[in-house]
Amino acid sequence: MVSSIPSVQSLTGGFWMQIQQQLAQRNVEQAEQQATTLRAKVQGAQAIAERARENARSLQIEANQAQGEASQARGFGCQQGAWRRSGTIERPA
């Protein structure tokens, strides 16, 4: 009977080691799955950010164009007023 105790302990120790290895493997697999999910989210966020940057550039171009048109309109209005004040009927070429 005394000789059977170490073999039982050896079986129990081996069983626990196997359980720990399985748990560690499961943790690794879960971490890999989380990493894959996070990479997909990052790619999605990067795509959204790129679209936002493109939209911002487009809006900046439109704003600059509108500002230029407004400046031209103000300049044209000033010229038109000067023509009226001077009594000139024809617009200069």
For residues 88 and 93, what is the distance between their CA atoms, to the nearest angstrom? 13
Query: Radius of gyration of the chain from Cα atoms?
Result: 39
Mean pLDDT to the nearest integer, 25-32: 98
Domain map of the chain by residue range?
54-81
For residues 22 and 89, what is the distance between their CA atoms, to the nearest angstrom? 95
- Please report the pLDDT score of residue 75 as a whole number: 83
More confident residue, 2 or 67: 67
Q: What is the mean pLDDT of the chain?
A: 83
Check: pTM over 0.85? Answer yes or no: no
> Tell me: the pLDDT tens digits for 35-58?
999 999 999 999 999 999 999 999
- Please report the pLDDT score of residue 20 as a whole number: 94
Question: Contact at 8 Å (CB) between 76 and 84?
Answer: no
For residues 30 and 72, what is the distance between their CA atoms, to the nearest angstrom? 63
